[in-house]
């Protein structure tokens, strides 16, 4: 936000003026959104479908840093992190409610930006904003979004369905969001020392976008249905691949083998990792914030899955007593754990 424009304090509008400003243009897109903003509660009718609900809260200073997160991107990301959890149930996101706690430093213009990002995500993912809450905070901006989705009961996919010999699949590429964050942190430090320095971000657009404005793979849900492939277990990758694979294995009472050399990693993730001395596999396994999907499918679906380049097979499910392993590039078996593995100083 440019500092030469005068910013409007929220007190100029008051709570109701502010709510009205943030919600006045809403046009409901989904038939299931019976009543949106403007009454005591929203009404949603999923008509025989089951309702899937998830919520995520983002806190300034913990989950985001306003010195390098543009508010519009932050609004977009706050929606995506929620929709990702709906997709992970194999459900279709339909509505969100948005609650914000604003600090004395928050201006009306900055909330305009935040909501512009929220609405952009709502349009892209075809969900309706149907309510929220507005309050104040002494410590900084807090954004809490609840997403609602629908699924036929028989379509819901839990973490607990993985079976021995199933293939472990992931969408997209991993580790980029972590590297993007490290790049932003590095440039912030450079700026602190020399405020006239220009940030050196060229060639790293992908890792920055993955950190600041991530997408979740909504088209995969329909594609899997069209392919006639039904995953046995599914989870979204928000905390790093290792911890998500372990969640599936624990819930399904199975073990697994994941191959390091099959992890989908973008060139720019590898390149930036080399600059800062962090192996890209470590970022993929433990970095987090990728918002891709991890799922298991029966071995018999391999011929179908392999025709889709956006889906990568990275390993397979074993019996529980085999444990959870990572096979490194040189064929060494290491225990897969949520803290990651030491890749060795000589690599
Ligand atoms: P109440 O006092 O009954 O909780 P509010 O005045 O908080 O009602 O909210 C009025 C309407 O505006 C409700 O429909 C609510 O869901 C919606 N709303 C409030 N805050 C927000 C917000 N930050 N974003 C979107 N909708 C909001
Ligand atoms: Mg309220």
User: Does residue 133 line the site of ligand 1, with CB under 6 A?
Assistant: yes
- The best mutation among 19, 21, 146 to test binding of ligand 1, ranked by most ligand atoms within 8 Å of the C-beta, falls on 19
User: Does residue 40 line the site of ligand 1, with CB under 6 A?
Assistant: yes
Given the candidates 3.40.50.300, 3.30.43.10, 3.30.1330.10, 3.50.50.60, the CATH classification of the domain at 10-155 is: 3.30.1330.10
Domain ranges for the chain: 10-155, 159-335
Q: Indicate if the pLDDT at residue 107 is higher than 90.
A: yes
Ligand 1: atom nearest CA of 39 is 14
- Tens of pLDDT along 28-77? 999 999 999 999 999 999 999 999 999 999 999 999 999 989 999 999 99
Angle between helices 108-125 and 71-87 (to 10 degrees): 30
- The mean pLDDT of 111-139, rounded to a whole number, is 97
When pLDDT is cut at 50, 70 and 90, the band that residue 343 belongs to is: low
- The best mutation among 16, 111, 131, 146 to test binding of ligand 1, ranked by most ligand atoms within 8 Å of the C-beta, falls on 131
Domains 10-155 and 159-335 share a fold: no
- The mean pLDDT of 257-280, rounded to a whole number, is 97
Strands 167-171 and 292-297: antiparallel
Residue carrying structure tokens 């064929």: 331
C-alpha radius of gyration, the chain, whole number = 21
3-class SS at 1?
coil
Nearest ligand for residue 42 CA: 1
Write down the pLDDT at residue 6. Answer: 86
- DSSP assigned state of 175: S
- The mean pLDDT of 309-320, rounded to a whole number, is 97
How far apart, in whole angstroms, are the C-alpha atoms of residue 275 and residue 263? 20
- Measured at the CA of 167, the angle between CA 290 and CA 77, to 5 degrees, comes to 15
Q: Indicate if the pLDDT at residue 345 is higher than 50.
A: no
Write down the pLDDT at residue 280. Answer: 97
3-class SS at 98?
strand
Fold of the domain built from segment(s) 159-335: Phosphoribosyl-aminoimidazole Synthetase; Chain A, domain 2 (3.90.650)
- Tens of pLDDT along 132-173? 999 999 989 999 999 999 999 999 999 999 999 999 999 999
How far apart, in whole angstroms, are the C-alpha atoms of residue 252 and residue 160? 4
CA of 99 from ligand 2 middle (Å) equals 9
Write down the pLDDT at residue 308. Answer: 94
The kind and range of the H/E element at 293 are: strand 292-297
Write down the pLDDT at residue 337. Answer: 86
Write down the pLDDT at residue 341. Answer: 57
How far apart, in Å, are the Cα atoms of 28 and each of 31, 76, 119, 144?
8, 18, 12, 21
How far apart, in whole angstroms, are the C-alpha atoms of residue 316 and residue 300? 13
Q: Indicate if the pLDDT at residue 347 is higher than 50.
A: no
How far apart, in whole angstroms, are the C-alpha atoms of residue 343 and residue 331? 13
Q: Which residues contact 37 (CB under 8 A, 6 or more apart)?
A: 19, 23, 26, 129, 130, 131, 132
- Measured at the CA of 143, the angle between CA 137 and CA 147, to 5 degrees, comes to 145
């Amino acid at each position: 936000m440019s500092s030469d424009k005068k910013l409007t304090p929220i007190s100029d509008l008051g709570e109701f003026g502010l709510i009205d400003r943030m919600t006045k243009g809403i046009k409901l897109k989904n038939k299931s959104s019976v009543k949106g903003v403007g009454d005591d509660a929203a009404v949603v009718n999923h008509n025989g479908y089951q309702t899937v609900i998830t919520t995520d809260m983002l806190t300034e200073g913990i989950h985001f840093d306003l010195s390098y997160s543009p508010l519009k991107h932050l609004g977009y990301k706050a929606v995506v992190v929620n929709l990702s959890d709906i997709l992970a149930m194999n459900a279709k996101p339909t509505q969100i409610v948005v609650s914000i706690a604003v600090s004395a430093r928050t201006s009306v213009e900055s909330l305009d930006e935040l909501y512009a990002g929220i609405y952009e995500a709502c349009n892209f993912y075809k969900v309706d904003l149907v309510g929220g809450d507005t309050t104040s905070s002494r410590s900084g901006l807090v954004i809490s979004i609840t997403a609602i989705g629908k699924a036929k009961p028989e379509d819901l996919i839990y973490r607990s369905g993985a079976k021995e010999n199933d293939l472990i699949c992931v969408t997209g590429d991993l580790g980029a969001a972590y590297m993007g964050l490290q790049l932003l942190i590095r440039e912030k430090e450079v700026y602190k020392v020399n405020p006239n320095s220009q940030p050196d971000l060229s060639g790293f657009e992908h890792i920055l976008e993955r950190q600041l404005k991530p997408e979740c793979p909504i088209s995969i849900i329909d594609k899997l249905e069209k392919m006639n492939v039904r995953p046995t277990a599914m989870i979204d990758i928000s905390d790093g691949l290792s911890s998500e694979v372990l969640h599936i294995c624990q819930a399904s009472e199975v073990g697994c083998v994941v191959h390091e050399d099959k992890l989908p990693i973008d060139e720019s993730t590898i390149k930036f990792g080399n600059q800062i001395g962090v192996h890209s596999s470590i970022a993929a396994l433990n970095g987090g914030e990728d918002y891709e999907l991890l799922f298991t499918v029966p071995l018999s679906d391999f011929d179908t899955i392999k025709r889709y380049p956006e889906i990568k097979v990275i390993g397979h499910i074993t019996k529980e007593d085999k444990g959870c392993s990572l096979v490194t590039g040189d064929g060494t078996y290491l225990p897969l754990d949520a803290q990651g593995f030491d890749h060795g100083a000589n690599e």
